[in-house]
Amino acid sequence: MATNFLVHEKIWFDKFKYDDAERRFYEQMNGPVAGASRQENGPGASSGPSGDHSELELQQAISKLEARLNVLEKSSPGHRATAPQTQHVSPMRQVEPPAKKPATPAEDDEDDDIDLFGSDNEEEDKEAAQLREERLRQYAEKKAKKPALVAKSSILLDVKPWDDETDMAQLEACVRSIQLDGLVWGASKLVPVGYGIRKLQIQCVVEDDKVGTDLLEEEITKFEEHVQSVDIAAFNKI
């Protein structure tokens, strides 16, 4: 661990100590120069306990320096720390869908031959057309059998005799004897007019297209022996 730490260490915090130790080492190797240096520093500089302590520190620094040099010499360039390389990431490319292969003429013919729903649709159309025609025919027959709406009218007639001696029963019988297509006689009654004379008030229903008021008056006035006049008292559409 210590070796690896020294190999990768880039900052030398104790450089000044090693410089001082290296200087003292060379001064010790060159004896007279070292003595002159000590004389220049003043008396008592080379003797005493402080001198022994300095020599001990010098030896320790030299040992550390030699150890460091050995480690540096033994270390190979491959063991040096290298800065991590930045991985280059290429931008994401948009994946295009595979191109549709054009259909060959043979495949087109096969697709044309295969009709999964065409036949069923044609059959359904035929059935729907037949059903529609059948319903129209039934409706036409039903409409033809249904009787057409006939316009009818309700008429109240006042039939007046000549005098009070006229036989009113005979007069009514003459009126009811008129039979026409689209004419139906209804209820009747005698209504006093004055001086003992009574008139015949009779109800009838007629089909407008077949019987009109003019025709009724003409037919009733034919009995001139009993009938003086005919008036329409009421006329209502049914």
Average pLDDT, the chain: 75
In this prediction, residue 8 carries a pLDDT of 54
In this prediction, residue 62 carries a pLDDT of 84
With a cut of 60, say whether residue 114 has pLDDT above it. no
In this prediction, residue 94 carries a pLDDT of 56
pLDDT in tens, 53-88: 677 777 888 888 888 777 777 765 544 544 445 454
In this prediction, residue 99 carries a pLDDT of 62
Domain-embedded: residue 192: yes
Range of the domain at 221: 159-237
With a cut of 90, say whether residue 204 has pLDDT above it. yes
Burial of 64 (0-12, 13-18, 19+ CB in 10 A): middle
Domain-embedded: residue 129: no
Domain-embedded: residue 54: no
CATH number at residue 172: 3.30.70.60
Share of the chain above pLDDT 70, in %: 63
Provide the pLDDT confidence category of residue 111 given band limits of 50, 70 and 90. Answer: low
In this prediction, residue 41 carries a pLDDT of 45
Domain-embedded: residue 222: yes
With a cut of 60, say whether residue 135 has pLDDT above it. yes
Is pLDDT larger for residue 107 or for residue 209? Answer: 209
pLDDT in tens, 11-28: 556 667 777 777 777 777
Tell me how many domains the chain contains.
1
In this prediction, residue 69 carries a pLDDT of 77
Domain-embedded: residue 30: no
Mean pLDDT in residue range 190-205: 94
Q: Are 160 and 227 in contact (CB under 8 A)?
A: yes
pLDDT in tens, 38-49: 444 444 444 444
Domain-embedded: residue 144: no
Domain-embedded: residue 51: no
Domain-embedded: residue 168: yes
pTM: 0.40
pLDDT in tens, 143-183: 777 776 788 999 999 999 999 999 999 999 999 999 999 99
